[in-house]
Amino acid sequence: MTDAHAPEAQAAVVDGVHHHQFDIVIIGAGGAGMRAAIAAAEEAQGTSVSVGVITKLYPTRSHTGAAQGGMAAALANVEEDNAEWHTYDTIKGGDYLVDQDAAQILAKEAIDAVIDLENMGLPFNRTPEGKIDQRRFGGHTRDHGKAPVRRACYAADRTGHMILQTLFQNCVKLGVNFFNEYYALDLLYTEGKVSGVVAYELASGQLHVFQAKAVIFATGGFGKMFKTTSNAHTLTGDGVGMIWRRGLPLEDMEFFQFHPTGLAGLGILLTEGARGEGAILRNASGERFMERYAPTIKDLAPRDIVARCMVQEVREGRGAGPNKDYVLLDCTHLGAEVLETKLPDITEFARLYLGIDPVVEPVPVMPTAHYAMGGIPTNTDAEVLLDNTTPVPGLYAAGECACVSVHGSNRLGTNSLLDINVFGKRAGQNAVAYVQGVDFTPLPDDPAKGVRTLVEQVRGASGSESIATLRKTLQENMDDKAQVYRTADSLREMLHIIHDLRQRYKNIGIHDRGSRFNTDLLEAIELGFLLDLAEVVVYSAMNREESRGGHMREDFQKRDDENWMKHTMAYLTGDATSPDPEDHIKLDYKPVVFVKGDDGELLYPPMERKY
């Protein structure tokens, strides 16, 4: 190819496997993947650099579309704000496990990221003066915590949906090559060099090898290891699992965020934007209980704090409902106009799924598994790391699958839509710069062999175990033993359950032997990735003997900066089927990056989190 935006030429077929060649291959077409594709396509204009995107879903079905409330940027359109305050809030909200250089980049580049989207055509809500409107969100403050600030740029409560549509339209405009409903299953990585990706085409069951100089992972999270989750069914950690199986490290996997306001019993998300507009959390007696826990910013405290407070209210007998097992989100005082114009989706969700009208009655809510702070370790250039500091040439990651670590142990709301745009753009731009100076790495002999073996083994499985039963057992136990509160005993028990599930997984049965859209096969492979990652999450959590951010240990209730102000780095070192994780998982550590001022003093020293 000589034109970066021209349709790919007919792929060669060798021994039944389709072979493609692109300078840059992006896995995933959510917000991070498409922002990387746009940046790469724009950067590649006038060059011969080619870009291809492999996506398990049609791009506009990606999970970015489920993000509701907004995207943070210190535009100061509504009230005084600046990037320094945003940096401070990000670091403090992440309970000081945030790499501070990454937080500074995120806050500084946020303004351009929003303006980029505006120029692409995103229909943000507007002030009467025509500026991008902004609303409050949890953990975002002015003047270093003194009061809430309006920092979230939004499009009603459909911000992620609008971002996804806008990015896709601009990818089409730039002629980005999409391979829709292709399931990436293996990274071709030998002797420290990236040579491509192997994918399974869902429509035909055929295998495709994509030779590439650079690969960008933008595959999203893995919340489907939990039962109560806001995550879509497809968020099974495939990209993170591919990295893990190739022996590359994963970072801070113990930190998983539980969003406070999921519909009780269902986990379907009600945006924090509701509280940003003034909605109030109440217990069974109608008390605004967050006033007791966070007297300054109340219901707009960071998510980890609000989630724990909600669970504590229920545990201490102040929960609502017949079983006293949830609290209430009260939107009734906001009025029908605000709910129908600024929060139309969550209003509809409550009516549709619970039969409750938020205009006239409070909505039952409880925390739901929402976001992985940990994932594939990268530096601030979005380069994937081989260890604490060494980049893997030609390998990049951005979005929820990546850990830069800009979210530390607790991500602030609206920083995820920002993260995918800031670091997705960086990944695309840096990949173009890299590929222009290197040649293609030769593919290994029979590059599709590993995926072919995996697919054939799973498709031919005739055992007695049901994939749905194994997945349900994993999810229910993760909710029970590794959710908002954890102990060494609960985590140890969870590891035994995961080992048992691995043994049962060897005896699965697949009923659909076909090749076209075989969801039976797809779900079986996805479960394999979920079991891998659940073990890393639980083992890392059992090892971290403190409470910090989204990781709350009831047997170690205090944050321990002396011993645990460091990132967990997990490495796969042996046979993952052994009963003791110590036999096949090595845990190491990486220091948190702190930023110093001109006087040599820390700009953001760890402090007690008071709100």
Closest of 426, 428, 429, 433 to residue 379, by C-alpha:
426
Closest of 395, 432, 24 to residue 187, by C-alpha:
395
- How does DSSP assign 541-608, residue by residue? HHH--S-BTTBEETTB-S--HHHH-EEEEEEE-S-TTSSSGGGTEEEEEEEPP--B-TTSSBSS----
Residue 498 main-chain phi, psi, to 5 deg: -60, -40
Q: Determine the Cα–Cα distance for residues 88 and 316; give it in Å rounded to an integer.
A: 33
- How does DSSP assign 141-178, residue by residue? EETTTTEEEEEEE-STT-HHHHHHHHHHHHHHHHT-EE
Tell which phi-psi region holds residue 125, choosing left (phi > 0), alpha (psi between -120 and 50) or beta: beta
Write out the E strands in 146-299.
Answer: 147-153, 177-180, 182-190, 193-201, 207-217, 250-251, 256-263, 280-282
Closest of 35, 52, 26 to residue 167, by C-alpha:
35
Instruction: Give residues with Cβ within 8 angstroms of 35, minimum separation 6.
Output: 167, 398, 420, 421, 424, 425, 428
Q: Determine the Cα–Cα distance for residues 321 and 315; give it in Å rounded to an integer.
A: 14
Catalytically annotated residue among 303, 452, 459, 559: 303
Residue 126, helix vs strand vs coil: strand
Closest of 126, 123, 135 to residue 159, by C-alpha:
123
303 counts as catalytic:
yes
Closest of 435, 361, 370, 430 to residue 400, by C-alpha:
370
Which residues belong to the active site?
303
